[in-house]
Amino acid sequence: MHKTVLITGGTSGIGLGIAREFAQTRKYNLVLNGLEPNGNEIAQALADEFKIKVCFHPANLLKPEQIRELARFAEEENGTVDVLVCNAGIQHVSPIDEFPEEKWDAIIGINLSSAFHLTKAVWPGMKKRNFGRIINIASAHGLVASEFKSAYIASKHGIVGFTKTIALEGAPYNITANAICPGYVRTPLVEKQIADQAKSHGIPESEVISKVMLYKQAVKDFVPVELLGKLAVFLASEEAKTLTGTALPVDGGWNAQ
Ligand code: NAD
Domains of the chain: 3-183+224-251 (3.40.50.720)
Is 173 designated active site?
no
Tell me, in angstroms, the distance from the centre of ligand 1 to residue 27's CA. 25
CB 128 within 8 A of CB 79: no
User: Residues 28, 152, 173, 215: which is the catalytic one?
Assistant: 152
Q: Measured from the CA of 192, which atom of ligand 1 is nearest?
A: 2
Distance CA 17, CA 35 (A): 16
Which stretches of the chain drop beneath a pLDDT of 50?
Answer: none
Question: Which residues form the pocket of ligand 1, taking CB atoms under 6 Å from any ligand atom?
Answer: 8-9, 11-15, 33-36, 60-62, 87-90, 110-111, 137, 139, 182, 184-185, 187-190
**In the prediction, which pLDDT does 59 show?**
98
Tell me, in angstroms, the distance from the centre of ligand 1 to residue 110's CA. 9
Q: Which residues contact 85 (CB under 8 A, 6 or more apart)?
A: 5, 6, 7, 8, 10, 15, 18, 135, 136, 137, 232
pTM of the full structure: 0.98
Helix axes 150-170, 114-129, angle to 10 degrees: 10
Q: Which residues contact 140 (CB under 8 A, 6 or more apart)?
A: 181, 182, 183, 216, 249, 251, 254, 255
| Residue 15 CB coordination number (10 Å) | 27
**In the prediction, which pLDDT does 1 show?**
80
Q: How many residues does the chain have?
A: 257
Tell me, in angstroms, the distance from the centre of ligand 1 to residue 124's CA. 26
